[in-house]
Structure 1
C-alpha cells in the first residue's frame, strides 16, 4: 500500500506513528502489549496489536484479546440507565432514595478523623443526575482522607453479598461534601447499576445483555469471562519494585473468571476492542448501529454534553479544558486542553490503561486497550490521542 494514501482524511503514513508510539512502551518492557483502533466516517482506518497478551506464556497480543475495561464500564451503565430514563422510569432530578431507600438520610463529612469525625446533615437530597456527574459526594477510598479510610475499612465484596448488603454498607459512610457542590470520583456509577436493577427487576448484566449487547452483537462483553474464552483474556500487570513489569496478583474487582454475585456498574465489565468500537459507533451515530436503535438522538446529545457548572470546570486539576457529561468527560475548551482534540469530544478510561474518545466534529473514534495498573503511570493515552490527531490531513 502507498504510505502517502489518504484514508478517510487520515494519512496512512502518519497513522503509522501510532504503532511507533505503542512500541515505545512494549519493546522497552514498560507495557506487555496494546491494541489500538481508529475509525472515521464509520470505517475502521487503523486496527493494530503490539507486544504480548501474556509475557509469561509468550502469547502474542491479538485484536480479539479480552480486556478488563474497569471504568470504561461506566458509559455502558449510563446507556443502560438512559434506556429506562427514555421510558419515564425515573427523572434526573429524582432523589436517589425514591428508588434506593437504603440511602436516605446520609450524613456529610464536616471534619475530624476516626472516633472524632464530625458529620452534618445534607442540605439537599442526592439527585440521580449527581450520580451521573460524580457530584453526589460518594468516594472510592483511593486516598488517605478521613472518609476514604472508612471506605477502606469496609469488608471486600464476596459471593455472599447482594445489592441489598452493599447498599446497607454504603449507607454507613458519610458523603465527602454536600450533594451537588463538588466533583468527586467515586462509586456513583455502581449505584446507578443498583438503580437499574431495582427499576428493571433484572441483574445488571442481564439487563445490559437484553438492551445493549444482544441487539448490537457485542459477543465478548460481560461481567466475567466464560471458560471457553479464558485463553483470550490478557494478563494484568503493574510496576515491579525495580521498575520492571510485574504480574498483578490481586487485580481490582475480582478475577473476572466467574459471574460475581454483585455486578459492578462502575468497573466490572470485560470487553474486546471490536465490541467497544460497536458501542462507541452506536453513540457517534446518534444511538443506532446497523439498524439497531439503542437510544434516541437527543438522548445521546444529553449523554455527551457537559452538565457541570462553570465553577466546577475543569473537574480535576489535570483535566484542562474538560467538563463532565454523563459518566465520562467532555472537552469544553480544546484551546485550554493540553492534548489535541476538538470541542465536544468525549470519553473515559479504565484503571488498567484502557481509553476511548468519541469526536463528533471529526466523526472519529479512538480506542486503546492495555492491561497495566495504575493507568496514569505512563502517558500512553496522551501519546495515543496525539498520534491519532496528527494523522488528520483533510480540510474541514
Structure 2
C-alpha cells in the first residue's frame, strides 16, 4: 500500500508540475521552485534596516517563481506618524508603473487591427499633426524647426517621439513646467491642444527622452475605443484579472489603506510629502493619466505581472496573445540609443518598460530579456522569463532613486536562486 501511495503521490506531483504557471498568492515553500528559503529570509531584515534608519517608512516585497509566491513580507509602516502598520493590502500610488498597464490596453486594440505601430500619430490624433521641434537658442529666443520625420505610434511607446516630462531645466522642459498641462486645471478635452503648444525636445525617433508619450497612448485608447481610459482598463484588464484595488483613485471605503507618501527634504530626511503630484488620489481625476495615474496593491500588480509572464493569460482569462507579449518585452531601440540613459547600463527599451539586453553590462543581477519599470514614489517590478521569476517592491518615497533599496531587493531575490 505504501508503494502504491508513493506512486500516486508521484503521479499527482508530475501532473501538478505540468500545469501552466498560474499565480498563487499563498506563499509556497521556496524549495519547490528552486529557491533557498534561508537566502530569501535575508530580504526582510534588509528592508527593516531601511525602516530602522528612518530612510523608508515601510515596504512590501514579493518574489515569485514558476507561478508560486515564495516571499511576501510587509515591514514598517504605511503611515509612520500615525503608526499604521504596513500590510499586504496597503494601496500605493504606482505612478509610472501605470505605463505597462496602459501599453497592454493599447495592445489589445492593436491585436484587433485598430492601428499599426508605424502609423503616424496624427492619423488618430490630428491635434498633433503640425508640431515644431526645438533646434537651439538664439540669445533668449528659441529656434524651432519643422519635423523631418514621421512621428509613429511605436515611438510613443518607447519615449522616442520627441516629447518630454518637464523634469530638467532645459529650455523645452521649462516650457513644460509653465504649461497648463501641469497646473491641474486642464480639461480632458483640452489635453492634446495643450500638448500641441509645446515644441518637441528632438526630431522623432532620434533620441530617448522620458516623456508624456504613454499619456498620449492613453488618449489613443480612448479615441479608438470610445471609452474613458478607466472604463477600458476595468472592462478589459481589471475585471477579468480581478484587480479589485487598482484604479485612478481610492474609494472612500478604502482610503484608510492608502499609504502616506514621503519625500526627502533639504536636510536629507524622510518626511511626509505635501502637495503630492497628480492630486490626492481620493477622488476621480479630470484626466486619467495613462503615464502615472493609477493606485494598486502588491497583490493586484502581481496578478498583472503573472499574466505577462504567462504569455498574456491568467487563470483562464486571456488578455493578450503570447506573441503580443513577446513583442511588448522586446527591445525596440536601435543600438545607438542603448543604454537609453546613463543610469541604466545594459538596458534597452520595449513598449513602456525597460529590458535587459546586456546582463554583463547591467549593475544588478538579472538575465538577458528580463524587463520591468518603476514608479516615481519608489515602487518597482521586474519580470524574468528565463528564470520564470517576478519581483515587486512597494513603498512611497520621492525621489525614487534616492536609496538603493530596489537594487538591494533585486540582488537578494536573485541570490536566492539555487536551481
TM over 0.5, yes or no? yes
2:310 equivalent to 1:285: yes
1:323-368 deviations in whole A, cap 9, x for unaligned? 0000010001101111100000000000000000000000000000
Which of 71, 78, 83 is the equivalent residue of 1:46? Answer: 71
Runs of 4+ that moved beyond 6 A: none
**How many residues of Structure 1 are paired with residues of Structure 2 in the alignment?**
391
Matched with 2:103 is 78
1:245 & 1:57 partners in 2: Cα distance?
A: 15
Output aligned runs, 1:235-384, within 5 Å.
235-384=260-409
CA distance in 2, matches of 1:98, 1:114: 36
Give the Cα separation in 2 of the matches to 1:305 and 1:5: 29
State the alpha-carbon separation in 2 of the partners of residues 174 and 139 from structure 1: 9
Corresponding position: 1:101 with 2:126 = yes
For residue 77 of structure 1, give the secondary structure of its aligned residue in structure 2.
helix
Deviations 1:196-247 (A, max 9, x none): 0011111101000000000000000000000000000000001133332211
Q: Which residue of 34, 59, 62 maps to 1:9?
A: 34
Cα distance in structure 2, aligned partners of 1:156 and 1:299: 32
Q: 8 Å contact 1:95–1:126 — kept in the other structure?
A: yes
* Deviation (angstroms), 1:161: 3.3
Contact kept, 8 Å, 1:69 with 1:351, in 2: the verdict is yes
TM-score by length of 1: 0.97
Q: Deviations over 1:69-117 (max 9, x none)?
A: 0000000000000000000000000111111110111011000179500
Cα distance in 1, alignment partners of residues 289 and 380 from structure 2? 19
Quote the Cα distance in structure 1 between the aligned partners of 2:239 and 2:30. 37
Q: What is the distance in 1 between the residues matched to 2:229 and 2:308?
A: 20
Give ranges in structure 2 of 5+ residues lacking alignment. Answer: 1-28
Secondary structure class of the residue paired with 2:135:
strand
Q: Which of 100, 117, 122 is residue 92 of structure 1 equivalent to?
A: 117
Q: Kindly report which structure 2 residues correspond to 1:52-71, keeping only aligned pairs within 5 A, or say none.
A: 52-71=77-96
Q: 1:255 to 1:261 in 2, by over 3 A?
A: same
- Contact kept? 1:36, 1:367, Cα under 8 Å: yes
SS at match of 1:51: strand
Max Rg structure? 2
- 1:28 corresponds to: 53
Q: 1:177 to 1:43 in 2, by over 3 A?
A: same
Decide whether the 8 Å contact of 2:180 with 2:194 is kept in 1: no
Give the Cα–Cα distance (whole angstroms) in 1 for the partners of residues 278 and 205 of structure 2.
27
Among residues 196, 205, 208, which one is paired with 1:180 in the alignment? 205
Q: Is the 8 A contact 1:113 1:146 kept in 2?
A: no
TM-score w.r.t. the length of structure 2 is: 0.91
Offset of residue 155 of structure 1: 2.6
2:258 is matched with 233
Is 1:5–1:13's contact at 8 Å kept on the other side of the alignment?
no
**Is the contact between residue 321 and residue 332 of structure 1 (CA under 8 Å) also seen in structure 2?**
yes
Unaligned runs of 5+ in 1: none
Structure 2 residue aligned with 1:112, among 113, 134, 137?
Answer: 137
Distance, in Å, in 1 between the alignment partners of 2:257 and 2:368 is 36
SS in structure 2 at match of 1:142? coil
Matches within 5 A, 1:112-261: 112=137, 116-155=141-180, 161-261=186-286
C-alpha displacement at 1:318, in angstroms?
1.2
- Look up the SS of the partner of 2:180 in the other structure: coil
Between the aligned partners of 1:130 and 1:138, the Cα distance in structure 2 is: 10
Deviation string, structure 1 residues 351-390 (Cα, Å, up to 9, x no partner)? 0000000000000000000000000011111001000000
Task: Calculate the aligned-residue CA RMSD, in Å.
Answer: 1.3
Aligned-pair distance for 1:157?
A: 5.2
Contact 1:353 1:372 in 2 (8 A): yes
Distance 1:72 1:208 in 2: 14
Q: 1:367 to 1:113 in 2, by over 3 A?
A: farther
- SS of 2:217's partner is helix
